[in-house]
């Protein structure tokens, strides 16, 4: 069954997604970062080219030819993936395909509305019996 981790208190959701995908890549885990819109996908694409400052995260968009070979895939609107190891979600709602993944990461900012919607997603997963973990980024320096 899918494991779900909530990273709350993120000061910058895109940067947190980059940090978590970098950690996954270093551990040999392939990740899909699912964004709610094209603008967020574009911003992530640009950020991943320069993150971290001393390295590079190989990535592609979900519709690119080389997607199957990439450790990080940027998704916007698709639901077909070459792997199902880790889903990093930047959406306000649970994605209908989340249960295909071994692990889901939900990133929640400290914004009041984003926190409220995050609590709704937490309740959704909890009510269905998913294993949940909570990491409060406002209390830690490393994700």
23-30 average pLDDT score: 94
Confidence at residue 61, expressed as pLDDT on a 0 to 100 scale: 79
The verdict on residue 109 lying in a domain is no
Q: Are 9 and 134 in contact (CB under 8 A)?
A: no
User: The domain spanning residue 73 has which CATH number?
Assistant: 3.40.50.10110
Q: Are 143 and 135 in contact (CB under 8 A)?
A: yes
The verdict on residue 132 lying in a domain is no
The verdict on residue 106 lying in a domain is no
The verdict on residue 136 lying in a domain is no
Q: For the chain, what is the domain count?
A: 1
Cα distance between residue 71 and residue 60, in whole Å: 9
Angle value at C-alpha 23, between 20 and 28, nearest 5 degrees: 125
Q: Tell me which residue range forms the domain holding 94.
A: 3-101
Of 105, 70, 71, which is closest to residue 88 (Cα–Cα)? 105
pLDDT digits (tens, 9 = 90+) for 33-67: 999 999 999 999 999 988 877 777 888 877 656 66
The verdict on residue 45 lying in a domain is yes
pTM over 0.85: yes
Q: First vs last Cα of the chain: how many Å apart?
A: 23
The verdict on residue 40 lying in a domain is yes
The verdict on residue 115 lying in a domain is no
The verdict on residue 48 lying in a domain is yes
| Percentage of residues of the chain with pLDDT beyond 90 | 76
Q: Which two tokens mark 67?
A: 């997607």
């Amino acid at each position: 069954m899918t494991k779900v981790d909530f990273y709350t208190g993120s000061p910058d959701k895109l940067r947190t997604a980059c940090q978590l995908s970098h950690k996954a890549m270093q551990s040999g885990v392939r990740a899909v970062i699912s964004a709610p819109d094209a603008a967020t996908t574009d911003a992530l694409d640009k950020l991943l080219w320069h993150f971290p400052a001393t390295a590079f995260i190989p990535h592609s968009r979900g519709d690119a030819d080389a997607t199957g070979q990439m450790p990080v895939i940027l998704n916007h609107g698709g639901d077909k993936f070459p792997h199902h190891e880790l889903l990093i979600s930047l959406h306000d709602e649970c994605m209908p395909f989340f249960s295909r993944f071994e692990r889901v990461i939900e990133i929640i900012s400290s914004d009041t509305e984003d926190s409220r919607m995050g609590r709704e997603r937490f309740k959704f997963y909890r009510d269905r019996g998913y294993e949940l973990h909570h990491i409060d980024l406002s209390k830690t320096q490393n994700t």
